[in-house]
Chain A
Amino acid sequence: MRYLPKSPAERQEMLAAIGVQSVEELFSTIPEAYRLKKPLNLPGPLSEPEVIEYFQARAAENSLGYASFLGAGVYNHLSSVITDTVLQRGEFLTSYTPYQAEISQGTLQAIFEFQTLMCQLTGQEVANASMYDGSTATTEAVLMAERLTGKRRVLVARSVHPEYREVLKTYAKNSGLSVEEIAYTAAGTANPKGLQSALRNDVCAVVVQSPNFFGAMEALSPLVETAHTWGALLVTAITEGVSLGVMKPPAEADIVAMEAQSFGLAPSYGGPFAGVIASKEKFVRQMPGRLAGQTVDLDGRRGFVLTLATREQHIRREKATSNICTNQALCALAATVHLTLLGKEGLREMAEQNLAKAQFALKELLTIPGVKRTFTAPFFNEFVVELPRSVKMVNAELLKEKIVGPFVLGSAYPELTKHALVCVTETTSRAEIERMVAAVRRALQQPL
């Protein structure tokens, strides 16, 4: 087998050195009754070309050749081939967690650069070296707020990504946290009155998202002020990081939980992605996840190490800030390379292109009779429209024209029955936008 670097002769030599006749003897501690007598019933073995063929056949059974207007937490963005060139270097791809700092300086410095970029993007003082994804980062941010305040109620806006809220509830149930939802306004943002009436002295975190699930931007300052008067922390989630190229950073928030998928990570049917928690220096000892810190070696040379490890599971065990061990290091590296390639101007330009395309798409859609814009808050690259007929029906028609239509909001928000969440990024061409609008127009003209 090509992955096993031993000849039969070498195996014999090694068995002899150990003092056994066959490798079977090395499994003697497994009771006879439980040792398998036959090989496992698995497909294969496949040669390399056959492996490739299998997956190419699967790839052909998906959505190649379709235009897409889906966002809802996962975004298509342009990226450079150089990101992959760097990622595929064996010293990055096949290296271990940088616990041995002297032979991991490449990884550690890259993490330090990642942490810096995340702070610059979010306006926060410190950021960790990534969590599994935005949804678990948001949950961990709430648990962090609980540790910091000692309180057990959580208020989360309904305009936060539905699956993020689900994950929070799964974790909260077992941590003794109670989670309540705050309604959204006609503008599409978290309802400050709803927040006011729900707040008491027992809330650890108020959770919002900006741009939120509807694509709308949340004004954070008034929410932060309100939360603080009641001793609660403001956690804000970000699912579309490219928005920060053109939006003010959420510096007023106490904790930011960001999904880094938009920074050069392929949608890949849902993962792997990379979540980030960014917050204030004074909270750093309650922050979960790895942290790379700058230091010096015995000769005074600058170097980097994993630090504040006493927060983590391998030391604190039961009292750890989280059970997380593996993070998303390679994904964070991809984001680092990607953002470095885009640079200050490239990210700004990309964000402005998103803005322009989304504005254009909305304008075109509104020329269709009966199509209405739903929320009034400013948006980035996603917005909600109401259609005169079922979104599911319209999407079915769009599919026939090889267009994957917008997200059906009714599936997550029962009160938004005829509403669609349309996402347009810099990767969507004008021609595709126009084709989509024409297809929607036709679909709505169909006899009932």
Chain B
Amino acid sequence: MNDNIKKVLRHPTQSEGLIFERSSPGKRAFDLPPLDVPAADAAKALGEFHRGGGVEGFPEVSEIEVLRHFTRLSTWNYAIDLGMYPLGSCTMKYNPRVNEFVARLAGLATEHPYQPQELSQGCLKILQLLEKCLLEITGMDAVTLQPAAGAQGELTGILLIRAHHEKLGNPRKTVLIPDSAHGTNPATAIIAGYQVQNIKSSDEGQIDIAHLDQQVTGDVAALMLTNPSTLGIFEQRIAEIAKVLHAKGALLYMDGANMNALTGVTRPGDLGVDVMHLNLHKTFSTPHGGGGPGAGPVATKKFLEPYLPVPVLVEKEGGRLALDHHRKETIGRVRAFGGNFGVLVRALAYILAYGPGVRRATEDAVLNANYIRKRLEGVFDLPYTRPSMHEVVFSDALQRKHGVNTMDIAKRLIDYGFHPYTTAFPLIVPGALMIEPTESESKEECDLFIDAMKSIAREAETHPELVKTAPHTTRVQRLDEVAAARKPLLRWKPPGKKSETAD
């Protein structure tokens, strides 16, 4: 093992099977208080619907076994609490713990979405303040907090655009999407009933305005733009882009996944954006939790407000807040109940902690990304040379000469104690290394990352096999994904049971 590796070395290897493999009849982990009403005769009350004897195969373990089981599992994970995730466009920043504390407060965690509105003023005030803050940050006029994640926010945004066009008599047919876009963009457009037309990026990773002008016809409903783009580059002529679209009656949708480069420095609303979504689990620090939950609020200009999903937060006489379910032109609901309230609380806590100084976070994010870019320039190929904002995209072109590709480099980075950066995205950069440090990383952590990447680049030249067979220090080696896809094994089955049965 290399002396250069300064961080965590050997991965914990506590052997821990599936919880079902620990199970044994008669073990209990949780007791309920005794019943204070007469017991019901379940078989009599439910008749044909009755299942006696509990769920077949359900685990029976003790309290300590449950706690140890999940604690051990947790030690096999990497996490922000341990170190940097340089994942591009994911904005893996620090998840402040006070956010967890306030989201769990009795009086917030306990509230039922259907309880009387006069008993929910505290919740509604939180929603109202968050709405005001997000409008200030985005420079837009109206907002909905309902979508459960970025992708759902995108869908909501496109549906708002559709409603607008339908009102004018023609829903139009196509949505334009840059070839550098995140996969949710085209997937969303299809679900919204539109066809997708790709726009090629220019050599500088920007939208080619002349081409755009030709592509925007009366059939185009909108352009879905990520700004900065997935290359980490600001779309300099965005205001012109908006003009080109608006001249033909098309709208500009902005994917706000990269807001971490813009917050407090510029506002999408000022740039001509008509509608956008935000990812609260990116820019606004709510925890990823292994893959979610998130929240994807959608902010719009005034003319799209009538179409917002119901319910809409309104203020009545005397400052009383209420939820309005009767909006004639609404696109409807995109999910049951109001939104991921617990996530919204965390996002508001984050904003309140920063206040007007939230620009500082953006500055540090851009500072970190440019520092890493400067010090790795020449070590890795830089396909687009325009200034980077909060993330930088390299390619593996130099390393591929030695047979080492971006996936290999990413896996070797694990041995150096880091989570990999984003590999192989955006698609327009073959062999991409997409790196976003976020503002949560200290200079020390950035330097450790830079040193690790430099070391791996050297290894690619002198010991390519070491890189190609990485990682070497994790609990498991590279896993056979091909077998997993050919013969999917998606659940535990009790030993001896070959076929799937109902119980």
Contacts and interface: CB of A to CB of B under 8 A. Distances in A.
- B is a partner of A: yes
A105 B77 contact: yes
A253 to B, nearest CB: 11
A70 interface: yes
Contact of B77 (A107, A175, A407): A107
Interface stretch (B95-103, B297-305, B394-402, B455-463): B95-103
Contacts of A415: none
Interface string B113-138: 11110111111011001000100110
Given A123-B502, A266-B110, A44 B476 contact: no
5 contacts: A45-B354, A96-B291, A271-B342, A343-B27, A345-B54
A404 B112 contact: yes
B496 interface: no
Nearest to B413: A100
B40 interface: yes
A214 interface: no
A94 B79 contact: yes
A89 to B, nearest CB: 4
B355 A46 contact: yes
Contact of A360 (B38, B47, B500): B38
Contacts of B420: 100
A127 B48 CA distance: 25
B165 to A, nearest CB: 12
A21 interface: no
B77 A134 contact: no
Contacts of A123: 502-503
B334 interface: yes
Size category, B interface: 35 or more
Contacts of A301: 476-477
A96 B92 contact: yes
B115 A68 contact: yes
A102 B290 contact: no
Contacts of B492: 112-113, 116
A132 B37 contact: no
Nearest to B152: A132
Interface in B58-81: 58-61, 63, 66-67, 69-71, 73-81
* Residue in A15, A309, A326 with the greatest tally of chain B CB atoms within 10 Å: A326
Interface residues of A, number: 200
B249 interface: no
Interface string A1-43: 1111110001101110111000100111111001110011111
Contacts of B27: 343
Given A55-B108, A267-B111, A359-B40, A316 B148 contact: no
A233 interface: no
Given A70-B115, A163-B336, A344-B58, A248 B49 contact: yes
A267 B109 contact: yes
Contact of B151 (A52, A111, A325): A325
A190 B112 CA distance: 27
A73 B342 contact: no
Contact of B112 (A60, A68, A95, A176): A68
B187 interface: yes
B291 A59 contact: no
Contact of B336 (A93, A134, A340): A134
B495 interface: no
Interface string A106-127: 1101111101110111010111
B317 interface: no
Given A26-B366, A61-B125, A344-B55, A251 B502 contact: yes
A17 to B, nearest CB: 6
B480 interface: yes
Interface string A366-381: 0000000000001000
A271 B441 contact: no
